[in-house]
Structure 1
Amino acid sequence: MGHDPARREFLRLLGVAVPAGMTLCACGGPGGSGVHAASPNAFLATEEMDFIRAAVARLIPADALGPGADQAGVPTFIDLQLAGPYGRAERWYMQGPWPSGVDSQGYQLRYTPAQVYRHAIAGIDAYCRKQYQQPFAKLGAGQQDAVLHALEDGKMDLGDLPSKTFFNLLWQNTQEGYLADPAYGGNRDFAGWKLIGFPGPRYNYVREIGQFGQPYQQPFVSLIGRAPTAALAHAGDVG
């Protein structure tokens, strides 16, 4: 994974469409899927966060083009999303039946995204302990890549959760976290936007409309300002 330039080149050339309406909420999911008591995270237990950090670091590694997904705050983005409405699938149709459909039919599982992550990470770490005597986060880069390829190819048994489904969800969320507005916890220091050349959502570009072919010199800006990391750090102080 870490040696395949195709993923980063895909990000650089195309970016991704980050779903509108993502709302952060530090609440656990239903059915005992909430944050573990000993975890400092919004949803993920400490060992689950260890997996996410290691996995996204292989999916988008640091290189000459910029920081990797871990350094860009993608694990925080995923943790916050799983703790909120997205993780609970509040805007999805989640009634049965749940047939084993084809890829073109979209998501067909009874599990919410938060439940998918919890179930999959436990299964992957169990597989790694059996195969390598260590959880995923403690494996070498080559072994981690082999595990991720097995997930991507649908060759790992995670019970009634297809491993390819989890890999696709993880890869999608990793891209979203790398390129979403830093207000959502990822894209730290505008790493993703610097990669693709997007300066951020300014209220207008009237002055620059006629300046064809000239570099855009204004600093990067988030929906919540030029220092979104600092704003997030103090979000709990608001009202």
Structure 2
Amino acid sequence: MTRSTPFRPSRRGFLSSTGMTLLVASIAGAKAAEHSGTLPWKPFAALPPQPLPGGRWYVFTPDEARMVEAIVDRLIPADDLSIGGKEAGCATFIDRQLAGSYGSSERLYTQGPFLPGLPTQGYQGAEAPVARYRAGLAALAQHVRAQFAGKAFADLAPTDQDKVLGDFDAGKVAYPAAAGFFNLLLQNTMEGFFADPIYGGNKDMAGWKLLGFPGARYDYRDYVTAHNQPFPLPPLSIAGRPEWKVGSK
């Protein structure tokens, strides 16, 4: 650059120089931590699971809880292979998830603009899951009362329950968000059936036993070469197994 050539900083040059500065600073910080004898991270720094005590509903009203228990039992009905969604605790799982950060979307960006998304992008609206459940369950209850002479969803025959859920899935009801709410229910029910039991669902690890999933075991080195063979040990939760007892010495 000659003296007569004016200096015009470019955006690309600024970003490149800024990136190099941050990279050098991060390397220096890591080196300092290495030389100081301390790790650049702390064990258990991530948020561990926080189990909630049972015996109560945290978000659902009694009527909502009864409805959700009936719904999850139709989405995952009991058969000769496994227990159903209600007995597996899927409604409890959903309630406890709604009581946490998931229910309020506090870990997600929820500001506008809100635009229609692609089917692969999931929900793109402003409402958090708790609000979606409140509105969706109210719409479902109103639809059932109008179609079945004032009855509640839990009191319908299984075939009628399946028809109601099928109409919501297909968006054949007056509630505009019916299909999206059904998909949310289905997703959360499946999560409750297969998630770690520490979160309230998957009672007795029924979902894992159905799949042959070993759970949260630490070491599989003795079994990595046992191809196409069932895993010989029972599944293990993050919290251990129900029959384990901690004794005092």
Is the Cα contact below 8 Å between 1:185 and 1:229 reproduced in 2?
no
Residues 178 and 186, structure 1, Cα contact 8 Å, conserved in 2: yes
Distance in 2 between the 1:152 and 1:214 partners? 38
Alignment partner of 1:162 is 2:174: no
CA offsets 1:69-109 (integer angstroms, 9 cap, x no match):
11111111000001110000112221123334442443121
1:80-95 alignment runs, 5 A limit: 80-95=96-111
The secondary structure found in structure 2 opposite 1:208 is coil
Aligned to 2:214: 199
> Equivalent residue for 1:135?
152
TM-score with structure 2 length normalisation? 0.73
Q: Distance in 2 between matches of 1:82 and 1:97?
A: 24
Q: What is the CA distance between 1:47 and its match in structure 2? A: 0.5
Q: 1:96 to 1:40 in 2, by over 3 A?
A: same
The answer to which of 101-110 and 192-201 deviates more is 101-110
Alpha-carbon displacement from aligned partner over 1:195-222 (angstroms, at most 9, x marks no partner): 1110111110122234444432212210
In the aligned structure 2, how far is the partner of 1:90 from the partner of 1:202?
31
Equivalent residue, structure 2, for 1:14 = none
Look at both structures and tell me which one has the larger radius of gyration over its CA atoms.
Answer: 2
Aligned length: 198
Unaligned residue ranges in structure 1 (runs of 5+): 1-20, 27-38, 232-239
**Once structures 1 and 2 are overlaid, which stretch shifts more, 204-213 or 59-68?**
204-213
Match of 1:70 in 2: 86
Structure 2 residue 76 is the aligned partner of structure 1 residue 60: yes
Offset of residue 134 of structure 1 = 0.7
1:24/1:81 contact within 8 Å kept? no
Q: For each residue in 1:155-189, what CA deviation from the matched residue of structure 2 results, as whole angstroms up to 9, or x when unmatched?
A: 1222xx51011001000001111111111111101
What SS class does the counterpart of residue 148 from structure 1 fall into? helix
Aligned to 1:125: 141
| CA distance in structure 2 between the aligned counterparts of 1:127 and 1:229, rounded to whole angstroms | 46
Which runs of structure 2 are paired with 1:36-55 in the superposition (5 Å)? 40-55=56-71
Cα distance in 2, alignment partners of residues 228 and 177 from structure 1: 22
Q: Residues of 1 paired with 2:91 and 2:186: CA distance?
A: 12
Structure 1 pair 173/77, CA: closer, same or farther in 2 (3 Å)?
same
Normalised by the size of structure 1, how large is the TM-score?
Answer: 0.76
Query: What SS does the aligned partner of 1:194 have?
Result: helix
Contact 1:98 1:109 in 2 (8 A): yes
2:235 corresponding residue in structure 1? 220
Runs of 4+ in 1 over 4 A off after TM superposition: 21-26, 228-231
Aligned AA (1:181): D
How far off its partner does 1:126 sit? 1.0
Describe the SS at the equivalent of 2:60: coil
For 2:192, the aligned partner's letter is G
Shift of 1:25: 7.5
Contact 1:116–1:166 (CA under 8 A) maintained in structure 2: yes
**What is the Cα-based RMSD across aligned positions, in Å?**
2.5
Task: List gaps (5 residues or longer) in structure 2.
Answer: 1-46
* Aligned sequence identity (%): 43
Contact 1:73 1:186 in 2 (8 A): yes
C-alpha contact (below 8 Å) 1:183/1:228 kept by paired residues: no
Contact 1:25 1:85 in 2 (8 A): no
In the TM superposition, 1:25-40 aligns within 5 A as: 40=56
Larger RCO of the pair (alpha carbons < 8 Å, separation 6+): 1
